[in-house]
Chain A
Amino acid sequence: MGNSRGGFARERSSSTLPAFMKSTPPASSPISAHPREASAALALSLDEVRTTATLARLHLTDEEAGRMAQELSSVLGHARALASVDVQGVVPMTYPVAMRMPLRADVIGPHDDIETALRNAPATEATFFTVPAILPGSADEE
């Protein structure tokens, strides 16, 4: 899979999906007007995938990055249809129900002791979680 320039999803799914899922999104949509141009075939370029991976604190192999670019492009390609929806004046929905943030009484309740809280930590010292050196080039003291 994955070597047919992102078109595989439509081909594979065409026989098993409801007709309305197959609509081709309009070409001149706001959503399509970005990194798509970076690559003729992909909505998401390899560079974009790598930058995004760094933001998400993930390392990708070249093979993984290539595959992700294909797969994410196919999903984002599908999402381009959202650009055709008239959302003028629509307030985005963030939660299904209107909620007021409840306040509790300002009273200390039961809570875990430090030992319990640290029990699952990969590395600890005294009453702290410990992490590797946080500055580049520092010796890792763990």
Chain B
Amino acid sequence: MSAPFVGPSNSAFSSLSELASAVRARRVSAVEVTREYLARASKLDPSLGCFLQLLPAHALAQAEQVDARVAQGENLPLAGVPVAHKDALCTRGIETTCASKILQGFVPPYDATVVERLTRAGAVLFGKLNMDEFAMGSSNENSAYFPCKNPWDLDRVPGGSSGGSAAAVAADLVPLTLGSDTGGSIRQPASFCGVTGLKPTYGRVSRYGLVAFASSLDQVGPFARSAEDAALALSVIGGHDPHDATSLTAGLPEELARLQPLSSLAGLRIGLPREYFQAGLDPHIEAAVHAAAKALVAEGATLVDVTLPHTQHAVAVYYILATAEASSNLARFDGVRYGRRRQPTPAELSGGQSALFEMYCRTRSEGFGAEVKRRILLGTYVLRSGYYDAYYRRAGQVRALLRDDFARAFSVCDVLLTPTSPALPFRFGERSTDPLAMYLSDVYTLSCSLAGLPGVSIPCGFATPTDSQRPLPIGLQLIGPALREAQILALAATYQRLTDWHLRRPALAV
């Protein structure tokens, strides 16, 4: 099924590749597309808070360059496609804050590799998107600037940490955004906002220019309307980057650039991990996910009951390892080389510490928000001498067992199908007073990240809970073996051919 993008009013497109080919064929100009989307974004974003910075002049100038390149015959796979990036991605000459006060005013001298690759492919940069500070959060409530709202219900969170990236696509402010996923930060907001969000295999996409959170987990990925669009984006941003020693050298399959739904699912074994369907899962979500599985069975797939027995430990493993890595990565924010510095006053130097020590402490204490401090403290604690073996080392061992769980599951099935989140989008403030409750809501996305596997969240229904006036999106997660993005996306595209959940739009007053 397909339906037009909001797109330019006199010419609708059902996919990014259609939009780009129209720009390449000069049936519509990149400038026209840009104007159309800018008008919508400028009008809607003030009530949504997706953009930390919306850059109309920059976008129009870049669109003109795209039109000029098209006129010169350049073959641009994303010609004229409006994009915006999570503010964790460095953009040359454009302030990049990670939604933190400590990076306020930081203007990177270089583009992240993914930003540069999209620009080279003809995409038009609209601006920088809201997020949880340093990508730490599951609701976008930890932005140091302002909250981003869920376009389906403005009283509810868009998820996080890439909340702005998901909400911007859901509201059609731009048809493609980039986010980053450390423990679910692409998939969970994609689920909450009713869009398609892909976390590629660890190492599939370069992280050069991504502000580091947890280096053994971080991965960049796209948000889009459909699996086909996400695949096209991955074909542009993925692949080895000499600037990132952890990026994989394996080539990207060519079918990503022109992903097709599968004509039949005969022979496909879909694993349902039983730990992901236990008590506590919202019944609306459980029903929608089971209905989706049934729809795939009707196409020829078979369902396999699998077990991932260490799932119950994923939250603990993740919050030990991710915070340990974060405490190290965030040590660089010290007020010396970039970002804000808080100079101690003479009165503050009476404690016998050096002025440098006081500068570090005051810069960091005033520059970081509460959640970032909490995670730095937790990470510092678990790495402390005497606790390392009990926490960090043990968490690494259990992580290996989680990875082995997946390996066993993939010996009897081809793909795993799960809910993306155990809960529907929640209201602002509903969980922010209890960090552990917030962490536990990431349970279905963490294991996939810990194992380094690719996962995609796609819309699979809507539910109107008793406390809500509005239907809220439900997300379905497909997890594949390493490097099988094309396979899980083709399955997602197959599901999207059968259903129209991914095409539904929130009612927003334009």
Contact = CB atoms under 8 A, between A and B. Distances in A.
Interface of A: 1, 8-9, 12-13, 16-21, 23, 30-31, 34, 44, 48-49, 52-53, 55-60, 64, 68, 71-72, 74-76, 78-79, 81-83, 85, 87, 90-97, 99, 101-102, 104, 112, 116-117, 119-123, 129, 131-138, 140, 142
Contacts of B357: 57, 136
B380 A55 contact: yes
Contact of B435 (A16, A74, A132, A137): A74
Given A13-B440, A96-B217, A131-B359, 18 more contacts: A1-B434, A9-B437, A13-B437, A16-B423, A17-B422, A59-B365, A68-B377, A72-B381, A75-B436, A79-B316, A79-B320, A83-B394, A90-B401, A91-B400, A96-B202, A112-B110, A120-B107, A122-B339
A129 B317 CA distance: 38
Interface of B: 105-107, 109-110, 201-203, 216-217, 242, 245-246, 248, 275, 278-281, 310-313, 315-317, 319-320, 327, 331, 334-341, 343-344, 349, 352-362, 364-365, 368, 370, 373-374, 376-378, 380-381, 384, 386-387, 390-391, 393-401, 403, 422-423, 433-437, 439-441, 443, 450-453, 482
Contacts of B354: 132-136, 138
B318 to A, nearest CB: 10
A87 B109 CA distance: 45
B44 to A, nearest CB: 31
B395 A82 contact: yes
A interface majority secondary structure: loop
A9 B434 contact: yes
Given A9-B434, A90-B401, A116-B109, A18 B443 contact: yes
Contacts of B310: 85
Contacts of A93: 396-397, 399-400, 403
B434 to A, nearest CB: 5
Contacts of A116: 109
A26 to B, nearest CB: 13
A111 B197 CA distance: 34
A94 B328 CA distance: 15
B400 A92 contact: yes
A42 B167 CA distance: 39
A136 B279 CA distance: 57
B139 to A, nearest CB: 14
A71 B217 CA distance: 24
B109 A72 contact: no
Given A72-B381, A96-B451, A21 B216 contact: no
Closest A-B pairs by Cβ, 4 of them:
A96-B452, A92-B396, A18-B280, A132-B355
